A and B are shown apart, each in its own frame.
Chain A
Amino acid sequence: MLKKLLVTLAAITLFSTSVTAAGLQDVENSFYPYKNGAPSIPGLAAGMTVNQSNVELFKDALDPAMYQFIKSGDTEIKVGDTTSFDLHPSYVEATKANLPTVKLGTKPGEISGSLAGRPFPEEPSLDDPRAGEKLAWNYKYGYNWGDSAAIMPFYWKFRNMNNAKVERTLKFNFHFLNFTHRTQQEPTPAITPNPSNLFRGIYVQVLEPFDVKNTQLLIQRFEDDLKRDNAYLYLGFQRRVRRLSSGQVTDSFLGSDIMIEDFEGYNGRISDMKWTFKGTRNMLMPMYNHNEMTLDSETHKDDEGYQVVSFGGKGNCFPNVTYQLRKVYEVESESVDPSHPISKRKHFIDAQTFTIPRNITYDRKGDIWKSWSIGQAHPDHHLAQNKGTGVAIDDAFTMIDIQAQHCTTGQFKGIVDPKLTPTSKMTVNNLRKSGK
C-alpha cells in the first residue's frame, strides 16, 4: 500500500512539476531548514549555560516568559547543538503530492485538498493576512505523533513552585491515532470505514492514584474543523461515560494546570481562534537527545531500563534538558469566544517539525498566566523502537501557572508503535470496557 501511495505521489509530482517547481523548493526548505548550516547568535555556543548573568545577551533568542524565568533565577538552560529532526519521508512525499490541491476556504477553519502531509510548506509572510492560519493548519496536520503512538506511562506531578512540594502524582496512558492524513502506518491515507469523517482520536486512561483510577478521556476530532470535537469522560467510580461540553475542554484537566485544549501545545479547532503570524525567529527551544539528558531514576523503572527526564529549577518545575537554537515561527491565537478563559496564546512553533515546544498563555485581562514547554526528543536517541520513525518525541512538559506559582510537569515514555493504538481504542465502548 505504501509503495502504491509513493508511486501515485511521484506520478502526481511529475505531472505537476511545472506548476509546483517553486513549491517543491519550499518543501525542501520547510523540512530541511538546517541543510546549509545551523542558525547562530553571537556568543551562543553549544555547551554553555544561559543564566542570570548572561541572559540579556540572548534575550532575542528567548520568549518573554522564559527570559523572565532565567532573569529571576528560576532556571537556567544548557545549550546543545542544533540538530535536524527529519520527519518521516512518507510525510514529506505526501506534502509534495498535496501541493497542487490544497487551499484555504473562505472562512477560518475551512480547507480543501489536503489529503496528507504539510498543507502549506511555503515560508510564511507577514504580508499574508492568513499566514497564521496556514501555520495552524501545518500544526494540526503535522507529524506530531506520526500516524499513531502511545505514551505508556505518562507521569504528571502537581507541584507547588514556592516550596517544591509534589502535591499530587497522576499516572496515565495516552494514545493518539490519526484516522485520516496518514502517510506511514497502514492503512494510508485513511482508516475506513469512518462514517463521521473523524480526523484524529486521543484516548487517555488514568492508572493512578486510586481516587481517579480508571478515569478515561476520549476526544474525537472531525475532519471538518468547523465541527466541535466529541469528547467523552468515563469516571471509574460511576462506571459511566459522560459527554463533555466544551466548557470542560477549557477547564483544568483533573486539577492540573493544563486544560484539554492545552494538550500538545494546542488541542482545539483552528476555527476557535484568530491566528496571526508575528514573525520568524531563531530561538532556544527544548529539543534534544533523550539518552544524553539527566534522567530521573526514581519516578519510573521498567525492564527496558528506560528512565524519564528529570526536573529542576524553582519548584522543580523545569525539565533538565538542553535547548538548541532553532528556526521558529511566532504565532498568536486569540480566542474567538469572549467567554473563553484565556484571551490569547503565543505559540513558538518549531519550523522544521511544526511541534509547539513553547507557549505563553494570557488571561482574559491580557496578563501572562501560564507558560508551557514541551521537550522534543530526537527519535533516533530515544527508545530503540522509535529510531527511524521520524517523529519528534514529546518527552517532558511543564505548564507553569505564573500567577499561582504552581506547575504541572509531565514525564513521558513515548512509543511509536501502531500495535499499541488500534482503532478500537478510540471508541466509546472501549471506555466502558477498559473502565470495568
Chain B
Amino acid sequence: MSKKEMISMSKIASGVAIGLMGLSMGYVAPSLASETEIDGFVENATYYRDGRGISKFRNTLQLEFNKSLQSANWMNVSINGTLRGTYDGVYDLNDEEFGKDATEDYLGANWHDNTTISSQMMLTPGTPFPCDNNPTMCSNLNDYMDHDENEARFPEFNDELDFIRELYISADKQLDNGNVLNLTFGKQQVVWGKTDLFRVLDVINPVDYSRHNIFDELEDIRIPQWMITAELQMGANNVFDDSNVSLIWNIDKFRPNNLGTCGQAYRILDAGCFFASGIPLGPPGSGAPVVPVIHGVEEYDWELGNTQYGLKWEGVYGDATFSLNALHYRQQLPSIHFRANTANPEVPVPFALDGVFDIHFPEVNLFGGSIDYYAEGMDAVWRLESSYTQGEELPRDTDGHKETDMFRYVIGFDKNIIIPELGTRSAFLFSAQIFGEHILDHEVDMPNDEENWFATLLIKGWYINNRLSPQIIIAHDFAAQATVIAPSIEYLVSDTLKINLGLNIKTGGDEQFPWSATALFGQPGVPQHEPLARFTNGPIGVANQEDEVQLTIRYSF
C-alpha cells in the first residue's frame, strides 16, 4: 500500500469511526453542552551530549482539547484531541554530529571502538538518513525507518499525520440491566499494565524510541493508533467490587516501533545504522559493489486479517486490583529474515546480492495479567504483571531468526518513607521493579540470553510544597552489565512555568562486545563480528557513550 493510500485509509478510518458513532447514537445535538476546554504547553528541551555537543534542541507545541456534546440516547459524549508539533533544531545546530551529513567512520562508531572484523571490513558504516543519501537503501527501507532529515526535524509532520496525537469520540450508554457500555472511536492511546520504563502488557500502541530512547514518558512516545474500543462496565456484583470487560480493535494500518533512523541523535540499539549499512563484495575502498543489509520491509496492507484486537477483563477483588489480558498483534520490533544466495551461485557468498535480510513483523498472541496489592504489614504496594506470547521472532547469529514463545514479568514495589534528616516533611517515594524475560525456545546463537533481567529504582522527593522535586532513576541490564543513572531536579516556578535539569549517565555494556555464537567467530582469539552484539548490549549498553546534561523548560497554558 502506498503512503497516499495509507493516508486515505486513516481518513477513512476516522470517518467510519465518527460516522458509526453518529449512527449508533441516533442523535447528537449540534448545540454544545459545554465550552471547549483547550490547554497545552510550549516546551524547549536542550540536551548536551558529552563529546558530541548538542544532541537535542526540541521545541514542542502541544494542544489538548475536549468538547462535550449532548445526546438524546447517550451519556458523557465528548470529543477529545491532542495535537503536537515539534521542531528539533539539532540538525541545524549540530549538523556535523547529527543529520544527513553526519557520517560515521565505521559501523557502531557511536558506541564501540573499531576493533572488530565486522566494523573494519565486513560492514560499511551506516548511511545517515538513507533517503537523503542513498536511493537504493531508501527504497529498501520503504515505510520503515526511512525518514529523511526534514522528517526528523519535524517528526509529527509526516504522511501518517502524527501531529494528531489523539482524536477520538467517546460515549456511554446506560443499559437496561444497569451496566454501562462505553464506546470510543478514533486515534488514541490504550494503556494496559502497571509498569514504568519497560513494557510487558502495555504493547497495544507501538512507541517512538527516536525521541529519547527508553527514557521519555510512555505517554509522550506511544504512537497513537486508530482504534475502536468497547467497554462493558458492570460495576460491583456479589463477588467483585468492580468488574469490566473491554474489547479493543486496532483498525489502523500496522506501525512498528520507531527505533530511530541512522543520523538521528537517538537510535535505540543502533539498529537504524545497521539497517542502513551494507556488505562490500571486495576490500574496503576497492569500489566493489555493496550488498545492502536490508533488502526490503514486509508491508501489511490494511485488511481485516491484518487488524489487531484484544480483550481485557479487569476488576477489583478485595484488596487486589487485577486484569486478565489477551491480545493479537504484530511484533513491534523488527524480525530479520536471512535471504540465501540462490540467484547467483557463481558469487561465493551465502547471502543474496540484492540484500541480506528482509524485515518482518510477525503476528503474536499475548496472554497476560496484572495485579496490585497493598500489603498493610509492610505499608507498601506490590505490583505484578506478566505476559506469555506466542509467535515472536528473535534474531540468531547463524540463521537470521527463530520463532519462540516468550515469558515476561515485572515485580514492582512502591513504598513511601519520610526521612526528616533530608529536610522535608514530605515522604520520599521508593519504587523498585524487576523486569524478567525468558526465551522458552532459546538457541545458543541467539544474542539475547535465555533469561535476562532489568532492575529499575526510582527515588523521588518533594520540597517547598512539591514545587521542587529531586529524583534519581537507576536502571540496570543484568545481561549487558549496563547501567543508566539519571538524577534530575524539577522546579515549578509557577503554575505555568516548569524547569527540569537532569543528567543521564550510562556505564558498562561495552564489556559484552564483541559477540558471536558461531564456531568460526566464537573461538577465543578468533576475530569476531558485531552486527548482533547490539542486542547483547541492550538499549542501555549501546547508548554507553550518550552521557548527557538535559535541560527542559515548559510553559503551560
Partners in one complex: yes
Instruction: Tell me, in angstroms, the Cα distance from A241 to B316 when the chains sit together.
Output: 12
Q: Which residues of A from 186 to 228 have beta carbons under 8 Å from B?
A: 193-196, 198, 208-211, 213, 220, 228
Q: Which residues of A from 263 to 311 have beta carbons under 8 Å from B?
A: none
CB distance from B553 to the nearest CB of A (A): 13
Instruction: Tell me, in angstroms, the Cα distance from A195 to B426 when the chains sit together.
Output: 35
Write out the residue numbers on chain B whose beta carbons fall within 8 Å of the beta carbon of A238.
Answer: 196, 217-219
Q: Tell me whether A413 is interfacial, beta carbon within 8 Å.
A: no
A252, B418: Cβ atoms under 8 Å? no
CB distance from A256 to the nearest CB of B (A): 7
Do A243 and B462 form a contact, CB below 8 Å, given A195-B241, A230-B319, A423-B235?
A: no
B427, A248: Cβ atoms under 8 Å? yes
Instruction: Tell me, in angstroms, the Cα distance from A406 to B464 when the chains sit together.
Output: 10
CB distance from A166 to the nearest CB of B (A): 9
Write out the residue numbers on chain A whose beta carbons fall within 8 Å of the beta carbon of B237.
Answer: 193, 195
CB distance from A338 to the nearest CB of B (A): 12
Q: Tell me whether B403 is interfacial, beta carbon within 8 Å.
A: no
Do A213 and B39 form a contact, CB below 8 Å, given A194-B236, A251-B426?
A: yes
User: Which of A158, A209, A241, A436 is within 8 Å of B80, CB to CB?
Assistant: A436
Write out the residue numbers on chain B whose beta carbons fall within 8 Å of the beta carbon of A436.
Answer: 80, 170, 184, 188
How many chain B residues have a CB neighbour from A under 8 Å?
61
Q: Which residues of A from 118 to 136 have beta carbons under 8 Å from B?
A: none
A169, B236: Cβ atoms under 8 Å? no
A210, B39: Cβ atoms under 8 Å? yes
Q: Which of B40, B233, B381, B466 has the most CB of A within 10 A?
A: B466
Write out the residue numbers on chain A whose beta carbons fall within 8 Å of the beta carbon of B426.
Answer: 251-252
Contact string against A for B residues 158-201, beta-carbon threshold 8 Å, 1 for contact and 0 otherwise: 00000000000010000000001010100011010110100000
Q: Which residues of B from 17 to 64 have beta carbons under 8 Å from A?
A: 39-41
Q: Tell me whether B441 is interfacial, beta carbon within 8 Å.
A: no
B379, A246: Cβ atoms under 8 Å? yes
Q: Which residues of A from 400 to 431 have beta carbons under 8 Å from B?
A: 406, 423-424, 427-429
A167, B418: Cβ atoms under 8 Å? no
Instruction: Tell me, in angstroms, the Cα distance from A424 to B75 when the chains sit together.
Output: 13
Q: Tell me whether A16 is interfacial, beta carbon within 8 Å.
A: no
Q: A433 — nearest CB in chain B belongs to which residue?
A: B182
Write out the residue numbers on chain B whose beta carbons fall within 8 Å of the beta carbon of A256.
Answer: 465
Q: Tell me whether B414 is interfacial, beta carbon within 8 Å.
A: yes
B238, A406: Cβ atoms under 8 Å? no
Q: B376 — nearest CB in chain A belongs to which residue?
A: A228
Instruction: Tell me, in angstroms, the Cα distance from A210 to B418 when the chains sit together.
Output: 27
Q: Which of A209, A210, A339 has the most CB of B within 10 A?
A: A210
User: Which of A167, A209, A237, A428 is within 8 Å of B242, CB to CB?
Assistant: A428
Q: Tell me whether B244 is interfacial, beta carbon within 8 Å.
A: yes
Q: Which residues of B from 353 to 377 have beta carbons under 8 Å from A?
A: 372-374, 376
A252, B465: Cβ atoms under 8 Å? yes
Q: Tell me whether B526 is interfacial, beta carbon within 8 Å.
A: no
CB distance from A298 to the nearest CB of B (A): 15
A210, B242: Cβ atoms under 8 Å? no
Write out the residue numbers on chain A whose beta carbons fall within 8 Å of the beta carbon of B376.
Answer: 228, 246
Stretch at the interface among B86-94, B288-296, B492-500, B539-547: B492-500
Instruction: Tell me, in angstroms, the Cα distance from A252 to B180 when the chains sit together.
Output: 35
Instruction: Tell me, in angstroms, the Cα distance from A257 to B319 when the chains sit together.
Output: 29
Q: Tell me whether A245 is interfacial, beta carbon within 8 Å.
A: yes
Q: Tell me whether A387 is interfacial, beta carbon within 8 Å.
A: no
B191, A158: Cβ atoms under 8 Å? no
Q: Tell me whether B467 is interfacial, beta carbon within 8 Å.
A: yes
Do A241 and B321 form a contact, CB below 8 Å, given A252-B462, A424-B233?
A: yes
Do A211 and B556 form a contact, CB below 8 Å, given A247-B416, A341-B418?
A: yes
Write out the residue numbers on chain B whose beta carbons fall within 8 Å of the beta carbon of A198.
Answer: 241
Helix, strand, loop or mixed for chain A's interface?
mixed
Do A423 and B236 form a contact, CB below 8 Å, given A196-B318, A198-B241?
A: yes
Instruction: Tell me, in angstroms, the Cα distance from A247 to B418 when the chains sit together.
Output: 8
A193, B238: Cβ atoms under 8 Å? yes
Q: Tell me whether A240 is interfacial, beta carbon within 8 Å.
A: yes
Q: A337 — nearest CB in chain B belongs to which residue?
A: B379
CB distance from B432 to the nearest CB of A (A): 14
User: Which of B180, B219, B235, B374 is within 8 Å of A245, CB to CB?
Assistant: B374
Q: Tell me whether B11 is interfacial, beta carbon within 8 Å.
A: no
User: Which of A194, A213, A247, A255 is within 8 Å of B465, CB to CB?
Assistant: A255
CB distance from A237 to the nearest CB of B (A): 5
A429, B318: Cβ atoms under 8 Å? no
B374, A427: Cβ atoms under 8 Å? no
Q: Tell me whether B415 is interfacial, beta carbon within 8 Å.
A: yes
B465, A240: Cβ atoms under 8 Å? no
Q: Tell me whether B240 is interfacial, beta carbon within 8 Å.
A: yes
Instruction: Tell me, in angstroms, the Cα distance from A193 to B235 when the chains sit together.
Output: 9
User: Which of B217, B239, B425, B492 is within 8 Å of A195, CB to CB?
Assistant: B239
Q: Which residues of B from 190 to 243 have beta carbons under 8 Å from A?
A: 191, 193-194, 196, 217-219, 231, 233, 235-242
CB distance from B70 to the nearest CB of A (A): 16
A240, B189: Cβ atoms under 8 Å? no
Write out the residue numbers on chain A whose beta carbons fall within 8 Å of the beta carbon of B233.
Answer: 424, 427, 429, 433
Instruction: Tell me, in angstroms, the Cα distance from A213 to B39 when the chains sit together.
Output: 10
Write out the residue numbers on chain B whose beta carbons fall within 8 Å of the beta carbon of A406.
Answer: 465
B180, A247: Cβ atoms under 8 Å? no
Instruction: Tell me, in angstroms, the Cα distance from A230 to B242 when the chains sit together.
Output: 13
Contact string against A for B residues 490-533, beta-carbon threshold 8 Å, 1 for contact and 0 otherwise: 00101110100000000000000000000000000000000000
CB distance from B217 to the nearest CB of A (A): 6
Write out the residue numbers on chain A whose beta carbons fall within 8 Å of the beta carbon of B467.
Answer: 167-168, 255
Instruction: Tell me, in angstroms, the Cα distance from A239 to B222 when the chains sit together.
Output: 12
CB distance from A333 to the nearest CB of B (A): 19
Write out the residue numbers on chain B whose beta carbons fall within 8 Å of the beta carbon of A248.
Answer: 416, 427
B418, A239: Cβ atoms under 8 Å? no
User: Which of A211, A244, A252 is within 8 Å of B498, CB to CB?
Assistant: A211
Write out the residue numbers on chain B whose beta carbons fall within 8 Å of the beta carbon of A194.
Answer: 236, 241
Write out the residue numbers on chain B whose beta carbons fall within 8 Å of the beta carbon of A424.
Answer: 180, 233, 235
Q: B373 — nearest CB in chain A belongs to which residue?
A: A243
Instruction: Tell me, in angstroms, the Cα distance from A198 to B319 when the chains sit together.
Output: 12
Q: Tell me whether B557 is interfacial, beta carbon within 8 Å.
A: yes
Instruction: Tell me, in angstroms, the Cα distance from A84 to B50 when the chains sit together.
Output: 71
A257, B314: Cβ atoms under 8 Å? no
B381, A242: Cβ atoms under 8 Å? yes
Q: Which of A168, A195, A429, A433 has the most CB of B within 10 A?
A: A429
Q: Tell me whether B340 is interfacial, beta carbon within 8 Å.
A: no
Q: Tell me whether B417 is interfacial, beta carbon within 8 Å.
A: yes
Instruction: Tell me, in angstroms, the Cα distance from A262 to B240 when the chains sit together.
Output: 30
Q: Tell me whether B311 is interfacial, beta carbon within 8 Å.
A: no
Do A257 and B415 form a contact, CB below 8 Å, given A196-B318, A245-B379?
A: no
Instruction: Tell me, in angstroms, the Cα distance from A198 to B418 when the chains sit together.
Output: 29
Write out the residue numbers on chain B whose beta carbons fall within 8 Å of the beta carbon of A193.
Answer: 236-238
Write out the residue numbers on chain B whose beta carbons fall within 8 Å of the beta carbon of A19.
Answer: none
CB distance from A245 to the nearest CB of B (A): 5
Q: Tell me whether A254 is interfacial, beta carbon within 8 Å.
A: yes
Q: Tell me whether B380 is interfacial, beta carbon within 8 Å.
A: yes
A341, B425: Cβ atoms under 8 Å? yes
User: Can you list 9 A-B contacts with CB-CB less than 8 angstroms, sorted by A residue number?
Assistant: A195-B239, A208-B495, A211-B556, A243-B381, A244-B381, A247-B418, A254-B466, A423-B235, A433-B182
Sample of 11 more A-B contacts, CB < 8 Å, known A208-B39, A423-B236: A193-B238, A194-B236, A194-B241, A196-B316, A230-B374, A248-B427, A254-B466, A427-B241, A427-B316, A433-B231, A436-B188
Instruction: List the 4 shortest-distance A-B pairs measured between CB atoms, nearest first.
Output: A255-B466, A247-B416, A210-B556, A209-B495
